Amino acid sequence: MSSTASPADPALPSLAELRASLDRIDDAIHDLLMQRAEVVTAVAALGARGKVPFRPGREADILRRLLARHSGPLPARVLARIWRELFAATTSMQGSYVIAVCEPDPPGGFVACAREHFGALTPMRVHRSPAHAIAEVIAGAATAAVLPVPQEDEPVRGAWWTALLHRDAPRVYIVARLPFWTPRPESATQAQAMVVAATAADPSGRDNTLIGFELPPDMSRARLSAALAAADLSPSGLIVRRDPAGQAAHGLIVVEGYVTDTDPRLAGLAQSVQRPVVLGAYAVPMDADPQ
């Protein structure tokens, strides 16, 4: 019994027709990208002249909205990557856009983390110490700096967040946490980083705030926890860093929500610790593959 190839189903599109459809879709996407760039240019004209608008909260809000409406076979993390590159491109259209990166020795993947978030073509300057990266932001040579997430056992030179307590001019704020999306593919960097800039973070709708303060060197964690509770602050994270010489101690807490310098809870906390300061805020990272 011989078999013969069945003729193609005339109801199905041919390969040529499918390719033509893809070309039309690509043209439509390209048209919309050019339109978006024109709108970005118009928005930039309404802002401060000569200043690159850095809005990590707004970017996070856009990504959350897009991922919430996303469906189909395209992986959600790919959508996030496309828009991260788009954010980088349109931001660089509006002025000098440089990122300073603290990459400790040995390397910990912070350059890769910065590339993932700020774009493959964004200029970056790499420094071994957080202080040098922050200095670029203070001097206006960098739009933002990517730094290691604070740790309780970090060395003295790594505790960059204690310098933000002084609120020197120009003031530097924590504005983002990286990576913004999970899960992490096996090949992706596992580095955890904070981003600082010379402008305060804009709220994204779902944020965490970091508050730093000085405390008596002999103040126990139990007393500090009681002081935080009395001030109606329930931190999801707490770091206590004591000077090796025992002369000073600093605390850092993470609280839910977007907290400002005028929040009355800071005045309540000031009754037990010294100089409580909002060091910044960041959009809560999200799951880019919720299915």
95: region left, alpha or beta (phi > 0 left; psi from -120 to 50 alpha) = left
Domain count within the chain: 1
Contact 214, 273 (CB under 8 A): yes
Distance CA 147, CA 290 (A): 28
Give the domain extent around 269: 92-285
Q: Would 61 be classed as within a structural domain?
A: no
Q: Would 246 be classed as within a structural domain?
A: yes
- How much is the pTM? 0.90
Distance CA 284, CA 257 (A): 9
Q: Would 126 be classed as within a structural domain?
A: yes
Contact 56, 202 (CB under 8 A): yes
Going by the DSSP 8-state scheme, the letter that residue 270 receives in this structure is T
Q: Would 186 be classed as within a structural domain?
A: yes
Q: Would 177 be classed as within a structural domain?
A: yes
Q: What is the CATH number of the domain that holds 121?
A: 3.30.70.260
Predicted pLDDT at 73: 95
Predicted pLDDT at 7: 58
Predicted pLDDT at 5: 46
Contact 46, 196 (CB under 8 A): no
- Parallel, antiparallel or unpaired: strands 144-148 and 193-197: antiparallel
For 271, the token pair is 């009754």
Predicted pLDDT at 53: 75
Low-confidence ranges of the chain (pLDDT < 50): 1, 5
Q: Would 123 be classed as within a structural domain?
A: yes
Distance CA 250, CA 254 (A): 14
Distance CA 279, CA 288 (A): 27
DSSP readout, 200-267?
A: PPPP-SSEEEEEEEEE-TT--HHHHHHHHHHTT---SEEEEEE-TTSS-EEEEEEEES---TT-HHHH
Q: Would 46 be classed as within a structural domain?
A: no
Burial of 97 (0-12, 13-18, 19+ CB in 10 A): buried
Q: Nearest Cα to 192, choosing from 124, 122, 265, 114?
A: 114
pLDDT, tens digit, for every residue of 256-284? 999 999 999 999 999 999 999 999 999 99
**Nearest-10 crossing angle of helices 76-92, 56-69:** 150
Q: Nearest Cα to 266, choosing from 201, 212, 197, 196?
A: 212
Q: Would 162 be classed as within a structural domain?
A: yes
Predicted pLDDT at 49: 57
Residue with tokens 């906390």: 269
The b-or-e profile of 163-194 (16+ CB within 10 A means b, else e) is ebbeeeeeebbbbbbbbbbeeeeeebbebbbb
